[in-house]
A and B are shown apart, each in its own frame.
Chain A
Amino acid sequence: MIGLKRKTAGLLGMGLALALVAAACGGTSPGPSASSPTASGQPTRGGVLRTAISSFGFTGGFDPTDEYLGLAWDFYGAMLRNLVSYKHIGGAAGNALYPDLATSMPEISPDGLTYTFHLKSGIKFGPPVNREITSQDIAYAFERINDKNAGAEYGFYYDGVIKGMTGQVNGIKPVSGIETPDATTIIFHLTQPTGDFLYRLAMPATAPIPVEVAKCFPTGGGYGRFVISSGPYMIQGSQDLSLSQSCSQMVKNPISGFDPTKQLILVRNPNYAQSTDNLRSNYVNAIDIQVDANVSDIFNKVAAGTLDSSLADPPPTTTLTQYLTNPSKKPYLHSDSGDRTWYITMNLLTPPFDDVHVREAVNFIIDKAALQQAWGGPVFGQIATHIMPPIMLNNALTSSYDPYKTPGETGSLALAQAQMKLSKYDPKHDGKCDIASACTNIVMINRNYAPWSTMEPIVVQDLAKIGIQVVPRELETGAAYQTIDTTKNNIPIALNAGWGKDYADPFTFAQPLFGSAALIPVGNTNYSMVGVTSAIIKKQGLGVTIPKGLSVPSVDSLINQCEGQAGATRQQCWVNFDEYVMTKVVPWVPYLWATNLTITAPSLTKWVFDQFSGYISLTQVAVNNNISVSSLG
């Protein structure tokens, strides 16, 4: 299901389990650039990348089949290889796919339904498996996704897309749509043209899994402490795992370098051949990730040089201020686009937001500059002017597209009133919402902590200017999401929501957020109810009614149209989609494209951001710290 997972807990909860966004990077954000050597000269090989996190917060026990945490995907980038993969670099270039296990990009049949890959030879699993990776190992990963017992958390990207995949199969069974005619060939048969299928093949769940080990873990999450490397790094101590022991013995003896409550230590995989990989640089000899619940301590250690980099925790205010105001420290603060949009969502079924002119008026009145300040300022994100973060559209639609532009993005009463006057809720034509029953006592759901609570007075004040009186209701993160994702609550407006990509295709925004297929009674992510019909309400039991005479706009056909395309036409289709949603549907006030902040020490000599995962690129950064691998563990 497309559940809570990809929603963003955001900046302040990043260390918690709900910060499950798979975010990415970019150079569009203000502040230091996405990829900058912080010292002169060539990056050197060697040393250990030392970093720490307040808590891992894994959603699937670090089992690649299940794991839905962006941070885990960062680690997999160093451990696992897919048929196609990223260069694990920053900016829009980081979203480009290249053959990785495959010799070249696939042969795609003219009807777009058959993808054929050939595998490189000489690529082996890490210890203790030590054998060549075959097409069957990749097919096995899909069979595992298809096994209902394995608990794949994003199986919906494959179920119904690859022939024979439903996610409902009991046990490991061959998938009819995946052929492995020989050890180096794999063929996928799709049910319909799927323009972003290659992105789905770059997801960690589809990386090869050796049956020798994974057979012992038939249920979700179990394989997480036994992940066998197919890439440049492996969990320290992997060679000590005995394949001759029985499964009941094996489950008791996880690989020593990984303890979810303490640490993850990655060391070089002796079976990895750099000659087979032109995507990763692999400068460091090892990666040492420690759990340290004290976030201030992590940043103090980075400042003292005993850690080379922070990881996913946002820096405390005082730390951040030091790095922003001290010119000698500023180069060590990295602010990269998280490919995440924060927005105010309005419900198309509830007055006064069932009138598109009111929704447009709201877009004009909100002081986005003040909301950005409430987050702390531009270092935390760029003001959003439309749905998709620009990097998702390869910068084909940037912030220069701004259908609700106001001077300084501070909101405009005149423009808002002009829209309000067109609405049926302004019979007096005074630019204010006049009908008391529709315009007052409107529940607005929000989170009960900063920066959301900081934004609240601003939004309340702005909406009051056009006669909309909201009643804020503050809840903790999970309760706020549950309140708005239960359709029968029919929440008119909410301030708590954000969305991050899984992979850099706008489909990962469009379908869950605006597709009628996403409309379910509990766990709905289409909060605005775009495309809802009486038939869907009845079929799904949504518990809402469509106001008399209202025709709810739908974007289903647009989504289907874009999803059937590939390449440049696909990109243009999504640009048109974004514009259509912003001007014709107007379900949101998008206000921030958020950044992820990382602070590094001078010992980190080359900084690179991994756009796919949204964190430091483990395979592209370099350190100069003379730490030896033998001192770890």
Chain B
Amino acid sequence: MATVQAPSPSAGPADTGVTQVAVVGRSPWNLFWSRFVRDRAALAGAVLIGELIVLAIVAPLVAKMVGHGPNELFPLSVHGGIYLPTGPSSHFWFGGDQNGRDVFVRTIYGARTSLVVAFVATGFAMIIGVVLGTIAGYFGGWIDTIISRVIDIVLSLPLLLFAIGLATVCSTTATGCLGGLLQPGLSLVSGIIALFTWPYIGRIVRGQVLSLREREFIQAAHAMGASDARIMFGELLPNLVAPIVVYTTLIIPSNIIFEASLSFLGVGIPQTTPSWGRMLSDATANNLFTYAWWMMLFPGVFLLLTTLAFNLVGDGLRDALDPRGSRR
């Protein structure tokens, strides 16, 4: 937001062809922003994400307000001798789950899990992908070969078996595995997600670097004696921001689904950590959802809206950042 002039509010599609009086210098950021704000769907997505972040942050306050913690156990309802979750009521807005816990509070807390995965796991994936992709593209040769083959190998690992195996191996001690680095639960799930998604970013970055490194400004930097590190991260990286941002945003929703799937399969996220995937899995146990529809509906809707929002924002970002896209 360094530049001064905001885009003129009247600058609509109708104006673009018309040459106006004062020539306003429009920075790439201005161009991007003016395009992005005109994408209503992307804006709506961004607003939704913003709300979700706020909700996740104030989750403890929400719990305090309704008076139910996410792991507090409340009585079940009895139907002819069978104990079942209680339905939505003025006390339990989204009903209760199989332990009598408040589905509303757990859904709100579930946003935390999903957002942690969205930002932390994807963030790690991005960092690994950018660093390795840049190195591979910049140096080429055997370094490129090694990194590219590693990418191929990671992408061909049987992901679910790997995840289940890791969770099992890390479950036999209290400290987890790798000297306590990996604990079954959110950290393991985040780790697995980062491990399996960095290659997507890595490949794209490598491709971009391959074409950029032949450009004049890079050769100029070489001629001026800049170090490899400086060229990679001082010269090349700023030019990679657009693809990185776009692809990272597009990977986020798939990672949220990924976390939900792993939690659904029971890979590691414990009962005490509310997670939408886990809540959905609880609802399917013994077809419980055919009775307790609220256990499936609410986390399901939140999961849907969240992934939809990230997808819309990602699409909007791509449209706004792509220089080849039409200047609407």
Shortest CB-to-CB span from B206 to chain A, Å, is 37
Complexed CA–CA distance, A457 and B282 (Å): 13
From A11, A330, A471, name the one whose CB has the most chain B CB atoms within 10 angstroms.
A471
B297 to chain A, nearest CB (A): 16
> Is B285 in contact with A448, judged by CB distance below 8 angstroms?
no
Question: Digit string of A435-462 for contact with B (CB within 8 Å is 1, else 0)?
Answer: 0000001110100111101101110110
Q: Is B261 among interface residues, defined by CB-CB distance under 8 A?
A: no
Interface residues on A, range: 35 or more
Whether a CB of chain B sits under 8 angstroms from the CB of A305 is no
Contacts A376-B82, A379-B81, A471-B174 given; indicate if A458 touches B73 (C-beta within 8 A): yes
For window 482-499 of A, CB contacts with B under 8 Å fall at 482-483, 486, 489, 491
- How far does the Cβ of A115 sit from chain B's closest Cβ, in whole Å? 45
Residue B271, interface by CB 8 Å? yes
Of residues 273 through 291 on chain B, the ones whose CB sits less than 8 Å from some CB of chain A are 281-282, 285-288, 290-291
Contact indicator per residue, chain B 56-85, by CB within 8 Å of chain A (1) or not (0): 000000000000000101001011111110
The docked-state distance in angstroms from the alpha carbon of A586 to that of B73 is 28
Flag whether A546 is at the interface (Cβ < 8 A): no
Q: Which residues of B contact A474 (CB under 8 A)?
A: 171, 184, 266, 268, 270-271
Given A454-B98, A483-B172, is A321 in contact with B184 using a C-beta cutoff of 8 Å?
no
B167 within 8 A of A: yes
CA distance A321 to B84 in the complex (A): 9
Q: Tell yes or no: A534 within 8 A of B by CB.
A: no
Task: Kindly state whether residue A173 has any CB partner on chain B within 8 Å.
Answer: no
Residue of B99, B173, B290 contacting most chain A CB atoms (<10 Å):
B99
Chain A residue with minimal CB distance to B271? A456
Choose the segment among A41-49, A310-318, A525-533, A566-574 that binds chain B (4+ C-beta atoms closer than 8 Å).
A310-318
Asked whether B282 lies within 8 Å of A30 as measured between CB atoms, the reply is no
> Could you say which residues of chain B place their CB within 8 Å of the CB of A491?
172
Is B272 interfacial (CB 8 A cutoff)? yes
Q: Which residues of chain B are within 8 angstroms of A476 by Cβ–Cβ distance?
A: 164, 266
Interface bin, chain B: 35 or more
Name the CB-closest residue of A to B282.
A450
| B residues near A325, Cβ cutoff 8 Å | 79-80
Q: Which residues of B contact A443 (CB under 8 A)?
A: 171-174
A472: CB under 8 A from chain B?
A: yes
A544 CB within 8 Å of chain B = no
C-alpha spacing A12/B76, complex, angstroms: 20
Chain B residues touching A, majority SS:
loop
Q: How far is the CA of A321 from the CA of B287 in the complex (A)?
A: 12
Q: Return the chain B residue nearest A440 by Cβ.
A: B174
- Are A479 and B164 in contact (CB-based, < 8 A)? yes
Is B239's beta carbon under 8 Å from chain A? no
Query: Which residue from B171, B272, B285, B286 sits with its C-beta under 8 Å from A475?
Result: B171
Contact with B along A317-333 (1 / 0, CB 8 A): 11011001100001000
| Given A448-B266, A449-B281, A479-B164, also A316-B81 (CB < 8 A) | no
Q: How far is the CB of A479 from chain B (nearest CB, A)?
A: 4
Partner among A377, A441, A442, A461 whose Cβ is within 8 Å of the Cβ of B78 = A377
- Which residues of chain B are within 8 angstroms of A522 by Cβ–Cβ distance? none
> Which of B79, B83, B175, B282: most chain A Cβ within 10 A?
B83
Given contacts A461-B73, A483-B168, contact A321 B272 (CB under 8 A): no
A458 to B272, CA, bound (A): 11
In the complex, how many angstroms separate the beta carbon of B236 from the nearest chain A beta carbon? Answer: 44
- In angstroms, Cα B76 to Cα A388, docked, is 29
Given contacts A318-B290, A321-B291, is CB(A472)–CB(B271) below 8 Å? yes
Contact between chains at A475 and B287 (CB < 8 Å):
no
Q: Are A457 and B290 in contact (CB under 8 A)?
A: no
State how many angstroms separate the Cβ of A249 from the closest Cβ of chain B. Answer: 41
Chain A residue contacts of B78, Cβ below 8 A: 377
Interface mask (B77-120 → A, CB under 8 Å = 1, otherwise 0): 01111111000000000000011010000000000000000000
Most buried by B among A30, A316, A448, A460: A448
Contacts of B73 on A, CB cut-off 8 Å? 370, 457-458, 461
Taking each of A31, A324, A330, A445, which has the highest tally of chain B beta carbons within 10 Å of its own beta carbon? A324
Q: Is A473 an interface residue (CB 8 A)?
A: yes
Residues A449 and B174 in contact, CB atoms below 8 Å apart:
no
- Contacts A445-B171, A458-B73, A472-B271 given; indicate if A373 touches B83 (C-beta within 8 A): yes
A378 within 8 A of B: yes
Contacts known (A321-B82, A324-B81, A457-B99); A442 close to B174, Cβ less than 8 A? yes
CA distance A120 to B285 in the complex (A): 51
For B83, list chain A residues within 8 Å (CB).
373-374, 376-377
Residues in B neighbouring A489, C-beta threshold 8 A: 172
Task: Give the distance to chain B from A19, nearest Cβ to Cβ, in Å.
Answer: 14
Distance, CA A154 to CA B168, complexed state (A):
29
Q: Kindly state the separation between the CA atoms of A449 and B288 in the bound complex, as whole angstroms.
A: 12
Sort A-B residue pairs by CB-CB distance and give the 4 closest, nearest first. Answer: A448-B266, A324-B80, A450-B285, A316-B287
9 further A-B pairs in the complex, CB-CB below 8 A; given A295-B287, A461-B73: A296-B287, A316-B287, A317-B290, A317-B292, A324-B82, A373-B76, A449-B285, A457-B271, A476-B266
Residues of A within 8 A of B (CB): 11-12, 30-31, 295-296, 314, 316-318, 320-321, 324-325, 330, 370, 373-374, 376-379, 441-443, 445, 448-451, 453-454, 456-458, 460-461, 471-476, 479, 482-483, 486, 489, 491
Instruction: Please name 18 pairs of A and B residues whose Cβ atoms are closer than 8 Å in the assembled complex, sorted by A.
Output: A316-B290, A317-B84, A317-B287, A324-B79, A324-B81, A325-B80, A376-B84, A449-B281, A450-B98, A450-B282, A453-B285, A454-B98, A454-B282, A458-B73, A474-B171, A482-B168, A483-B171, A491-B172
